[in-house]
Structure 1
Amino acid sequence: MILVLRALGVGDLAASVPAIRGLRAAFRGDTLALAAPAWLTPLIDLIGAVDRVVPVDGLASVVRTSPAPEIALNLHGRGPESHRLLQAAQPAKLWAFANAEARHLDGPAWDPGEHEVRRWCRLVNHYGVATDPGDLTLAVPEVRVPAGVTIIHPGAKSPSRRWPAGRYAAVARRLHADGHRVMITGSPAEHDLAAQVAAGAGLPAGAAVSTTLGELAALVARARLLISGDTGIAHLATAYGTPSVVLFGPMSPVRWGPPPDRPQHRAIWHGTRSEPGDALGAGVHPALLAVSPEEVLAESASALPG
């Protein structure tokens, strides 16, 4: 059995797809188990490479598998906590970035400025597994959702990555006036934010929606356009080739953005360097505040086919 750790969120999982598929191709006869949050299972199923989900809740979890894995692959981080979590599963081999604190020295060195997709491809390449960093496509869920909508997703995990609701509303209002069928999406916890944007834009009743993960993936796959911050749904647009405009704040698109050779995906960033995590705390990041509705509308027009 091959055990892979990626106990993070939607965007993190999407960025690890090429590495996971490379591993699947290299070990076709082995069971491939992915240690990840159980709520990600509908998305994991769309990768088409994972045989088993081992539910974990962050690095405080205990990963139990039977038998012990032949290889444990750390696609979670640089260690030592994530390394130790996998070491506790007693694998015959640990594939991971070098970390002296975890007493793991045979892996490659960590590069903090590396794009997230290429980082994990480079890790498995180090151990002799071939990957294709462009292999990001996910299967489309068989869920009935509207097609051809323009999605605006105002939420993000941290406040520093949330563009102001009033600016999203201004963009939604203009697109609606131009004939777009605009939907404002969010998780159940983000419903009030989605409703605020929809109301501010003067959208019809029902324009603000909460979705399951499968519904969200299906909606993005069939959408006309996505506008969002630097969060998981932007990676779904990349996976499905859906035109997108992604607004970056603390993090540079060089690290987390869509592939630069795909003109239908537009990244807007007015920063000069990536912050470590969301280091600036509760406020919206200055690079994000520098983005105007007019700029987003211009990039939206450029992202759509002529």
Structure 2
Amino acid sequence: MPDHTATPPASRRILVIKHGAFGDFIMALGAFQALRRHYAGDHLVLQTIPSLVPLARASGWFDEVWTDPRDKGPGALLAIRRQIKGGRFDLVYDLQCSDRTNLYFQLLRPFPPRWSGTAWGCSDPDPNPNRNATHGTDRYAMQLATMGIAEVPPPDAGWITADVSCFALPDRYVLLAPGCAPHRPEKRWPEAQYADLANRLVARGIIPVLVGTKSEAETTAAIAAACPQAIDLTDQTTLFELGGIARNAAGAVGNDTGPMHLLAVVGCPSVVLYSHASTPTQSGQRGPKVTILREPQLKDLPVERVEAALLELMDDLPSPSSG
């Protein structure tokens, strides 16, 4: 007869390291979910940057979420060393695999924990010779596969949502995300083309809704001025509210930015615009309905082409009004 008095095995302590940027973090959601399922009875800790802590905690995939401000200097590195050593981890998944996180492994010598990553001398090196050229989602899945986690399905992102009734949005709207990092102007489709697209949507009875951060307010304000029917929600939404708004949207158009990763992963039909400055095979947005358009210079991407791609993704789209 089975021995029902046997002591159950002690749970393992497992650390997952994934910092930023935001888009990279979204690409890692499937890997996070797969790790949680694989280590269902173990204690799973995520180390990430402070801005991503609310998202990580809301996922429910981690028992603890630690912050790493990525401060410079020996004092900061020693603090991280104490943090990781104090966790007494049985296994570490370094999904960041940066020079900094590789250094974390070296700081744990002479008795580092079992470590999956790219750090020299680690127990479970990632064998992918084209890691840096591999799409983020596939890169994490391949790393997990070497550790016996064969399946990394698209993540369930149903938790990225919120009550958005306070915004009183119309029944039919399309999100426009015209911003980008201020130092990367080459990744922006021009304001005039966004404004042209916004007015074309209005002609179809669809309201453009502008989203972005405070640093993009000048861009969104210019588009709103050119299309008075547009609703400007710049710097007015949390990430969770953005997810809720995206779920109800007919579609979205935006540059290659982190928020477009979020819109795509929650299922919003998304058209993402790429220039020569980024490579969709390495960092392209993924979701149930995503189209990526690429031109070396985004100013050369015609509005008609973007509109056509959006129409193809959207369901039950009304024709332009004759009046």
Alignment partner, residue 53 of structure 1: 65
Report the CA distance between 1:67 and its aligned residue. 2.3
Alignment partner, residue 265 of structure 1: 290
Q: After the TM superposition, which residues 129-208 of structure 1 pair with which residues of structure 2 at under 5 Å, given as runs?
A: 129-135=149-155, 137-145=157-165, 146=169, 148-157=172-181, 158-204=184-230, 206-208=231-233
| Contact map agreement 1:153 1:229 (CA 8 A) in 2 | yes
1:24/1:174 Cα in 2 relative to 1: closer, same or farther (>3 Å)? same
Structure 2, unmatched stretches of 5+, are 1-12, 317-323
Alignment partner, residue 280 of structure 1: none
Q: Quick one: which of 32, 53, 66 aligns to 1:20?
A: 32
1:34/1:241 Cα in 2 relative to 1: closer, same or farther (>3 Å)? same
Structure 1 residue 8 corresponds to structure 2 residue 20:
yes
1:27/1:305 Cα in 2 relative to 1: closer, same or farther (>3 Å)? same
Number of matched residues?
284
Q: What's the CA shift string for 1:112-131, capped at 9, x where partnerless?
A: 33121010010011111233
Alignment partner, residue 117 of structure 2: 96
* Partner secondary structure for residue 209 of structure 1: coil
Q: After the TM superposition, which residues 231-250 of structure 1 pair with which residues of structure 2 at under 5 Å, given as runs?
A: 231-249=257-275, 250=277
Report the CA distance between 1:194 and its aligned residue. 1.5
Report the CA distance between 1:48 and its aligned residue. 3.0
Structure 1 residue 288 corresponds to structure 2 residue 313:
no
Structure 1 residue 256 corresponds to structure 2 residue 283:
yes
CA–CA distance in structure 2, aligned partners of residues 177 and 136 of structure 1: 35
| TM-score, L = length of structure 1 | 0.83
Structure 1, unmatched stretches of 5+, are 271-285
Percent identity at matched positions? 25
Report the CA distance between 1:89 and its aligned residue. 5.8
1:68/1:288 Cα in 2 relative to 1: closer, same or farther (>3 Å)? farther
Alignment partner, residue 273 of structure 1: none
Report the CA distance between 1:86 and its aligned residue. 4.6
Alignment partner, residue 319 of structure 2: none
* Partner secondary structure for residue 186 of structure 1: coil
Alignment partner, residue 320 of structure 2: none
CA–CA distance in structure 1, aligned partners of residues 106 and 301 of structure 2: 44
1:305/1:7 Cα in 2 relative to 1: closer, same or farther (>3 Å)? same
| Contact map agreement 1:16 1:120 (CA 8 A) in 2 | yes
The letter for the 2-side match of 1:31 is: H
* Partner secondary structure for residue 61 of structure 2: coil
CA–CA distance in structure 1, aligned partners of residues 39 and 30 of structure 2: 14
* Partner secondary structure for residue 54 of structure 1: strand
| Contact map agreement 1:46 1:141 (CA 8 A) in 2 | no
* Partner secondary structure for residue 141 of structure 2: helix
The letter for the 1-side match of 2:307 is: L
Q: What's the CA shift string for 1:243-265, capped at 9, x where partnerless?
A: 110001222322222449x4x31
Report the CA distance between 1:58 and its aligned residue. 3.8
CA–CA distance in structure 2, aligned partners of residues 152 and 200 of structure 1: 14
Alignment partner, residue 218 of structure 1: 244
Bigger CA radius of gyration: 2
| Contact map agreement 1:19 1:131 (CA 8 A) in 2 | no
Q: Quick one: which of 272, 292, 315 aligns to 1:305?
A: 315
| Contact map agreement 1:191 1:208 (CA 8 A) in 2 | no
Q: What's the CA shift string for 1:158-190, capped at 9, x where partnerless?
A: 322121122111111211221112111111222
CA–CA distance in structure 2, aligned partners of residues 192 and 259 of structure 1: 28
Report the CA distance between 1:209 and its aligned residue. 2.7
Report the CA distance between 1:304 and its aligned residue. 0.5
1:221/1:9 Cα in 2 relative to 1: closer, same or farther (>3 Å)? farther
Q: What's the CA shift string for 1:204-230, capped at 9, x where partnerless?
A: 5x5343222222222222221111111
Q: CA RMSD in A?
A: 2.4
CA–CA distance in structure 1, aligned partners of residues 106 and 246 of structure 2: 37
Report the CA distance between 1:303 and its aligned residue. 0.8
CA–CA distance in structure 2, aligned partners of residues 154 and 76 of structure 1: 28
Report the CA distance between 1:140 and its aligned residue. 3.7
Q: What's the CA shift string for 1:130-156, capped at 9, x where partnerless?
A: 332433534242332446531101111
Bigger mean CA deviation after superposition, 143-152 or 187-196: 143-152
The letter for the 1-side match of 2:114 is: K
CA–CA distance in structure 1, aligned partners of residues 100 and 220 of structure 2: 36
Q: Quick one: which of 127, 134, 140 aligns to 1:114?
A: 134
Bigger mean CA deviation after superposition, 123-132 or 82-91: 82-91
Report the CA distance between 1:84 and its aligned residue. 1.4
